[in-house]
């Protein structure tokens, strides 16, 4: 069990309050500089991107899949959607996905029935994501595959082209 904040430093004769790993701030920083202490890693790692938009996307993805208290869990983890082992670490996620092209992009699964992984994910804008949901049935005709909304738009555009062609 870790030391409490009000306990003293582990260095003999130092009476400063505990800061990290059992040391006061002065001794902790000195030992860190000397390489005797390495900062904690884990899922945060040393990527220095905690708080970025990409980090929030990654963190929210994990929460939707892993956390039954997340309001979206029933549609993700509760529905069997997960993420690949590689993406347990943010560094791997950002290496595979790269930075978001713009603030309007968010993480999207290409096939909404499959898990989050490099082969099935992209950065997409809201309109693309809205059409890419499990509730939208994919309809195929003459080799074209689209959901209902996409077919309506396509057929409307084709009708307008025919009208202009007369």
Q: Would you call 17 helix, strand, or coil by DSSP?
A: strand
17 bridge partner residues: 8
Which candidate, 154, 129, 127, places its Cα nearest to that of 140?
A: 154
Each residue's pLDDT tens digit, 96-136? 999 999 999 999 998 888 999 999 999 988 877 766 665 55
Q: What is the pTM of this model?
A: 0.54
At 30, give phi and psi (nearest 5°): -65, -45
Please state the length of the chain.
166
Better pLDDT: 24 or 67:
67
DSSP single-letter state for residue 3: P
**Where in the chain are the domains?**
1-39, 53-130, 136-166
Each residue's pLDDT tens digit, 130-140? 666 655 567 77
Predicted pLDDT of residue 14: 85
Distance CA 43, CA 144 (A): 42
Q: How many CA atoms lie within 13 A of 82 on its CB side?
A: 5
Each residue's pLDDT tens digit, 45-66? 455 666 788 999 999 999 999 9
């Amino acid at each position: 069990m870790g030391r409490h904040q009000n306990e003293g430093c582990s260095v003999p004769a130092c009476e400063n309050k505990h800061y990290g790993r059992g040391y006061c701030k002065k001794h902790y920083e000195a030992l860190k500089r000397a390489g005797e202490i390495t900062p904690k890693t884990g899922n945060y790692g040393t990527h220095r991107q905690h708080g970025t938009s990409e980090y929030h996307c990654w963190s929210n993805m994990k929460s939707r899949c892993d956390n039954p208290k997340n309001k979206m869990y029933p549609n993700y983890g509760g529905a069997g959607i997960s993420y690949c082992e590689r993406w347990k670490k943010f560094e791997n996620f950002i290496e595979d996905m790269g930075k978001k092209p713009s603030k309007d992009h968010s993480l999207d699964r290409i096939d909404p029935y499959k898990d989050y992984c490099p082969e099935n994910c992209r950065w997409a804008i809201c309109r693309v994501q809205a059409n890419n949901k499990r509730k939208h049935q994919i309809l195929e005709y003459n080799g074209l595959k689209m959901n209902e909304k996409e077919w309506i738009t396509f057929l409307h555009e084709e009708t307008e082209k025919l009208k202009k062609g007369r």
